[in-house]
Structure 1
Amino acid sequence: MKVLIVEDEPQLSQQMQQQLTEQGFIVDCAYDGEEAHFMGSTETYDAVVLDLGLPKVDGLTVLKKWRAENLTMPVIILTARSLLHEKIEGLNAGADDYLAKPFQMGELVARLQALVRRAAGKASSIVTVGDIRLDISASTVTNAGLSVTLTAHEFKVLSYLMLHLGQVVSRATLIEHIYAQDFDRDSNTIEVFVGRLRKKIGSKMIETVRGLGYRIAQD
């Protein structure tokens, strides 16, 4: 899952980035409204954490611009605890959730995971296909009850495909969702990750749709 953090306070931004990275998220950071709008409009994110009090362009304006451009990624706005009108304005502008400062990092992680699941049409953090059981919150995978050891990128590829069951996912989409913006991206690595996954969870689990990408079929 790939997340954009928009926060102009460097220490808080770093804390969020570190915590989310430890939980398996791919994280990009923006520090003002202009940068945030550009990144959100040109990169693909599974969710955005958006502070409203930003330099150059305020967060509410950024959110309204994204929604006017038909960008539908889930957005959590960060607000001061006492400013109820900010929460209401943010939700009315198209935010999906809000978090009042100060907040616990664990709550941020849980809210982001829930938003991404709901955006993919999944109510639970656990997705099961045949004998494969993936727990997004715990970052674990089992096959017929036995633990499967995956690298971080293998888990990200598998979780994205399982969150989009029945859909054909292109290599380009997988690359966008498993690598940070400044990472040296190579589409050939997706084939490597898929090949490793097939060895670990079964060769028939991930279907190659020639010329289009990969798909995990629904039961």
Structure 2
Amino acid sequence: MPRLLLAEDDADLGPTMRRALEMEGYVVDLVTRGDDACAAARADNYDVILLDIGLPHGSGIDVLRSLRAAKNATPVIIVTAFDRTQQRIAGLDAGADDYVVKPVDLDELAARVRSQLRRRDGRGNEQLTIGAVTLDFAGNVVTLDGQVVPLTAKEHRLLALLMRRARRFVSKADLEAELYDQDNWAESNTVEVAISSLRRKLGRDFIRTARGLGYMVGAQAA
């Protein structure tokens, strides 16, 4: 389940944004100060950070610069009432990935978060290794103990998403959405069938299941 850090000091808007994003299925940590935002980003790994510029005890721009100076590449969306072109440029130049101007349309905000999650999942290394399984994104090749394992397109897409989010549970809905983009629709048991096939090919314990949470790789099965 993706985890978001929301830094917003407005006593009404902050909780409203948090509730709206939680209804989209995200875990949301809300802070109201710039220094608290920096501390939270250092202490935890977030999938997306939403920053108000006008925070007390360290502006959103200061927080953003601090994160980027520390090589923190977490996607950042600036959410602010400042809508001048120069202010937008300053935010983007400081390392922001997107910029949303208040008043915030909550549906649009959720869509922009989804966009950053998709982009994030496409970033990073061209090769990932979890245990004995290696996925080469450049060549679309999966190997187990160095031996190539043939996968269907559906299996490859699901495995890629699970490995990019290693050691975190990925919900069935997120996996279905990954297949929806490809096939325009997915039958109710498509994910279960693909997961079962992946276990046969990669080892029964490679993918862990937890009722109500979803599927995870990179952790020993309970």
Say whether the fold is shared (TM-score over 0.5). Answer: yes
- SS of 1:203's equivalent? helix
Could you say which residue in structure 1 is the equivalent of 2:196? 203
The correspondence of residues 130-145 of structure 1 with structure 2, limited to 5 A, is: 130=154
Letter in 2 for 1:214: V
Deviates more, 1:74-83 or 1:98-107: 74-83
Equivalent residues of 1:79, 1:86 under 8 A apart:
no
Letter in 1 for 2:217: Y
Could you say which residue in structure 2 is the equivalent of 1:181? none
**Gaps in structure 1 of 5+ consecutive residues:** 123-127, 134-160, 179-196
RMSD over aligned CA atoms reads 3.2
Residue 164 of structure 1: how far off its partner (Å): 3.0
The CA distance in 2 between the partners of 1:168 and 1:93, in whole Å, is 27
Residue 13 of structure 1: how far off its partner (Å): 0.7
Residue 103 of structure 1: how far off its partner (Å): 1.9
Measured at CA, do residues 167 and 120 of structure 1 come closer, stay the same or move farther in structure 2, by a change above 3 Å? closer
Residue 214 of structure 1: how far off its partner (Å): 1.4
Could you say which residue in structure 1 is the equivalent of 2:161? 164
- SS of 2:68's equivalent? helix
**Gaps in structure 2 of 5+ consecutive residues:** 124-151, 172-188, 208-215
Spell out structure 1 runs of 4+ moving beyond 6 A.
Answer: none
Deviations 1:51-106 (A, max 9, x none): 00000111101000000000001000012254322211110000000001112100
Could you say which residue in structure 1 is the equivalent of 2:58? 57
How many residue pairs get matched? Answer: 159
Could you say which residue in structure 1 is the equivalent of 2:43? 42
- SS of 2:12's equivalent? helix
Equivalent residues of 2:121, 2:164 under 8 A apart:
no
Could you say which residue in structure 2 is the equivalent of 1:26? 27
The correspondence of residues 80-91 of structure 1 with structure 2, limited to 5 A, is: 80-91=81-92
The correspondence of residues 42-121 of structure 1 with structure 2, limited to 5 A, is: 42-121=43-122
- SS of 1:205's equivalent? helix
Letter in 2 for 1:203: S
The two structures have a TM-score, normalised by structure 1, of: 0.63
The CA distance in 1 between the partners of 2:26 and 2:165, in whole Å, is 22
The CA distance in 2 between the partners of 1:28 and 1:43, in whole Å, is 10
The CA distance in 2 between the partners of 1:163 and 1:62, in whole Å, is 32
Letter in 2 for 1:169: A
Equivalent residues of 2:162, 2:217 under 8 A apart:
no
Letter in 1 for 2:154: G
**Highest Rg: 1 or 2?**
2
The two structures have a TM-score, normalised by structure 2, of: 0.62
Identity of matched residues, %: 33
- SS of 1:73's equivalent? coil
